[in-house]
Amino acid sequence: MRVKVLEKNERSIEVLIEGISLPIINAIRRYAMTQVPTMAIDEVLVMVNTSPLFDEILAHRLGLIPLKSDEALEKYRSPEECAECTAYARGCENCFAYLRLEAAAEGESVTVYSGDIVSDDPDITPVYKNIPIVTLAPGQRLVVEMRARLGRGIEHIKWSPVTVATNRYVAKINVDRSRCDLCKRCIELCPRKIFYIENNELKVRNEMNCILCKQCERSCPKDAIMLSWYEDKYILRLESTGVLKPERILSESISMLIKKLDELHEQMNKVTVK
């Protein structure tokens, strides 16, 4: 198996994985969406709310604000551990981070942003400070207390660490140069501009840029282009909401999948075949 990083920045990662089957790469993708734990606001206590928003709409907006979670994975208990915690109902400090939002408009209207949320844990703060929550008219006031905990995307989308999680095939492009008459129709129609002519031959710049639209294959009057894909080579792309670094999301999703398979293997070994 080979893994090559094609692209990586603060918000996304794209890797080429060779020697792997489609079900496995799809499992990694789905685990990135649903099984990697992150922090999110889960409980909201509205003390004062004279804003135009109902309490439940306000709570929904607060719950969807991404919170930094890199340190939370080590500092706070997992969702499974918190479910069994006897101090959970009382607000166990190992399960929850506490946040507060207080704002008021006096002389003129004020827009309340995610950056106005104050956390008791400096490691658990909104990823983006400029998310608008509500606009207060003069005389309106808002006081809210919140509890955030670790959760998984399978429970609610607010805990999913990714906005995009895709895997795609790597194209295999075969050009029969004995048939190609260099009509350039494939060059004109290809949306990714991967074809070019050099030394009176049709060539391909980068097969991995191909999106398998098959415009080239359909447009070729001589049937000189045949398009297929590799059965053991895939490109996986993850785009983070900002709560975790993209490379960590990938690493955690693989670890979660391995852990689940180990548990399955352990249980299967206990099965007695009669």
Report the C-alpha gap between 218 and 183 in whole angstroms: 14
Both tokens assigned to 236:
């996986």
Within its chain, how far is the Cα of 222 from the centroid?
Answer: 43
Flag whether 254 is in a domain. Answer: no
Both tokens assigned to 182:
């260099």
Residue 53 near residue 165, CB atoms below 8 Å: no
Do 133 and 55 belong to one domain?
yes
Distances (CA, A) of 102 to 1, 180, 245: 53, 70, 30
Total domain count, the chain: 2
Among 159, 186, 201, identify where a domain stops.
159
Report the C-alpha gap between 70 and 259 in whole angstroms: 20
Question: In the prediction, which pLDDT does 224 show?
Answer: 86
Cβ neighbors of 99 (< 8 A, separation 6 or more) are 41, 117, 118, 119, 120, 124, 145, 146, 147, 148
Both tokens assigned to 59:
């709570």
Distances (CA, A) of 1 to 61, 123, 258: 43, 37, 16
Cβ neighbors of 121 (< 8 A, separation 6 or more) are 75, 97, 98
Q: Provide the domain limits for residue 64.
A: 39-159
163 phi, psi to nearest 5 deg: -100, -30
Question: In the prediction, which pLDDT does 272 show?
Answer: 62
As to burial, measured by CB atoms within 10 angstroms (0-12 exposed, 13-18 middle, 19+ buried), residue 264 is exposed
Question: In the prediction, which pLDDT does 88 show?
Answer: 59
Please report, for the domain that includes residue 129, its CATH number.
Answer: 2.170.120.12
Average pLDDT, 10 consecutive residues per value, the chain (274 residues) = 92 95 95 97 96 96 97 90 70 88 95 97 96 97 96 96 96 87 87 90 88 88 86 96 97 94 89 62
Residue 123 near residue 150, CB atoms below 8 Å: no
Please report, for the domain that includes residue 232, its CATH number.
Answer: 3.30.1360.10
Among 104, 130, 159, identify where a domain stops.
159
Flag whether 258 is in a domain. Answer: no
Residue 208 near residue 235, CB atoms below 8 Å: yes
Flag whether 271 is in a domain. Answer: no
